[in-house]
Amino acid sequence: MSTYMAKANEIERKWYIIDAAGKPLGRVAAQAATILRGKHRPIYTPGVDCGEYVIIINAKDAVLTGNKLMQKKWYRHTGYIGHLKEVSYKELMEKRPEKAMELAIAGMLPHNTLGRNALKKLRIYKDAEHNHQAQAPIVWEQN
């Protein structure tokens, strides 16, 4: 018996919706990364994009445990000498909670073409409203 290897054109993709309200940001990000990568499927193949679409709602209500809200920082560089910018996660969660969630998920995906393509299948909304009813998303309940 040989190992089944999935082919990119044979994969049927579904849309899943994850509610982040009251859940730790990292746990939600790990679930989303698993779905985006396709590791929840029995036909998972490492070199093929087997992932599905993910919608995350209520990103502003995700929680950071411990002292991460005050101590954790997001650093980015503008490209100019000495222009390293830092933003605390308290400020980031107040102003751009979608970015905080996206950064967490991007760190859990491979840093190559597969990971970049998986991120294109991610939609994050700070509130409960989203405009993907036509895709008939399935509520993801696993923890």
State how far the Cα of 130 lies from the Cα of 123, in Å rounded to an integer. 9
Dihedral over Cα of 111, 33, 73, 96: its sign? positive
Q: Could you tell me the pLDDT band of residue 75, with boundaries at 50, 70 and 90?
A: very high
43-55: per-residue pLDDT in tens?
Answer: 999 999 999 999 9
Task: With H, G, I as helix, E, B as strand and everything else as coil, classify residue 120.
Answer: coil
How many C-alpha atoms does 61 have within 13 Å on its Cβ side? 12
CATH of 13-64+95-139, one of 3.40.50.180, 3.40.50.2300, 3.90.1180.10, 3.30.70.1050: 3.90.1180.10
**Taking Cα atoms as reference points, which of 39, 60, 58 lies closest to residue 50?**
39
The token pair that represents 141 in the structure block? 């309940």
What does pTM read for this prediction? 0.92
96-139: per-residue pLDDT in tens?
Answer: 999 999 999 999 999 999 999 999 999 999 999 999 999 999 99
How many C-alpha atoms does 79 have within 13 Å on its Cβ side? 0
